[in-house]
Amino acid sequence: MEAKPKTKATPVNLLQHSYWNLGGHSSGTILSNTVQIFASYLIQVDNQSIPTGTISSVSDSPFDFRKPNIIKSRIKHVKNGYNTNYVVDGHGMRKVAVVEDGRSGRAMELWANQPGVQFYTAYYVNDVEGKGGVIYKRYAGLCMASQGFPDAVNHPQFPSQIVKPGEVYKHDMLFKFSF
């Protein structure tokens, strides 16, 4: 994705927010999926999910997915499921996350050049009619959305998302699937 402001500097933070269920759209929840996120830190949020500006280590917490973990083994320790922006380790185009569904044998890798990735487990999805009339319930899918840090314009310690005229914002991402 690209953005090129013409006359004024503007904040830009484009992202995709696709929901994934590697078992298939009618296979139930993603709680048995294994997730690995290549991030040692996350952005803290307040009780309304607004970033506070604090970046915290994931060590010794249910947010630590640096090694592959089954979602259901950790989600019980997180109120309202995961809706977390991780600070991705490294720079440039790199592997950000891996999701595996052991039942189907499908796996997905996300590669991206952005500093953050939002991991969302669809806690607020409930009784949504989907493909073929299937009713999607809580945890029916997950999102891995590479992005800049949310609310960066209000937190000067975050990487800037201001793009000036003559500059080009470029967000590269690649989803790699295996079966």
What is the domain-level CATH number for residue 130? 2.70.98.10
| pLDDT score of 50 | 95
| pLDDT score of 120 | 98
- Which residue spans within 16-166 are E strands per DSSP? 34-37, 39-45, 51-57, 69-70, 83-88, 94-101, 106-112, 116-120, 128-129, 135-136, 143-147, 162-163
| pLDDT score of 78 | 95
Q: Residue 157, Cβ neighbours under 10 Å: how many? A: 9
Domain enclosing residue 157, as ranges: 2-178
Local confidence band at 70 (pLDDT 50, 70, 90 cut-offs) = very high
Contact (Cβ atoms closer than 8 angstroms) between residue 172 and residue 113: yes
Local confidence band at 12 (pLDDT 50, 70, 90 cut-offs) = very high
> In the predicted model, what is the mean pLDDT of residues 37-51?
97
Domains held by the chain: number? 1
| pLDDT score of 135 | 96
First and final CA of the chain: distance in angstroms? 27
| pLDDT score of 123 | 97
| pLDDT score of 96 | 99
| pLDDT score of 177 | 98
**Do you know the residue count of the chain?**
179
Distances in whole angstroms, Cα of residue 134 to Cα of each of 56, 85, 126, 138: 39, 29, 12, 13
